[in-house]
Amino acid sequence: PTQEQINAIFGTGNAILLTSGGSVLLDENGEYIIILQKSVKLDKPVVIPSGAAVHLELAGNDLIGKEEEPALIVSGGPVLISDSLGNGGIIGGKGTSGGALGGNGAPGIVASGDAIIMIEEDTVVKGGTGVNNGNGGSGIQADLTTNGSLVINGLISGGDGSANASEGGISGNGGS
């Protein structure tokens, strides 16, 4: 990726792609390193497709999904999510009014297919808040193949439900 592509996804000045001398730097696992510079409320989910290898460093900031949408959709990887400063997180979008049935919060991360996600210590993934009697979203919604996996050393939690109803930290099936 280029810094221009990072700006298009996160907004100008909100995240940087680590480079040195005009070359993109990779971490020890061969992953592109993207560092959030400030908390970002997204216009649409960040999508990490199959074949992409990404290290997302939150640096104490939040990555927040648009209302009723996840912050991150992963179908490939590996994706490493870290927060070296603490206090940051990946948070699903809150529900909207949703009418009589309520508005459910979105998951923080949707993982599908062969997604491989590693969440480091001091990193939080949380579902969005439900409104108008809606449920809170799950922290991670997973529908993985046998090649997909989640390695979690951080905190995964469901979002707050407006009627004390909340999804679990992880929902879904498959994978390891």
| Selection from 120, 119, 126 nearest residue 91 by Cα | 126
What pLDDT band is residue 104 in, cutting at 50, 70 and 90?
A: confident
pTM recorded for the entire structure = 0.90
Contact by Cβ (8 Å): 70, 93: yes
Asked if residue 112 has pLDDT above 60, the reply is yes
Asked if residue 98 has pLDDT above 50, the reply is yes
Residue that wins the pLDDT comparison between 101 and 140? 140
Q: Could you give the dihedral angle defined by the CA atoms of residues 169, 98, 131 and 37, in that order, rounded to the nearest 10 degrees?
A: 70
Q: Which residues contact 163 (CB under 8 A, 6 or more apart)?
A: 102, 130, 133, 134
Residue that wins the pLDDT comparison between 149 and 100? 149
Average pLDDT estimate for 86-111: 86
pLDDT on residue 176:
44
What pLDDT band is residue 175 in, cutting at 50, 70 and 90?
A: very low
- Cα–Cα distance for residue pair 93/42, rounded to 1 Å: 9
Segment 48-82, tens digit of pLDDT: 988 889 999 999 999 999 999 999 999 988 999 99
What pLDDT band is residue 174 in, cutting at 50, 70 and 90?
A: low
CA 136 and chain centroid, separation? 16
- Cα–Cα distance for residue pair 159/9, rounded to 1 Å: 24
Average pLDDT estimate for 149-172: 76
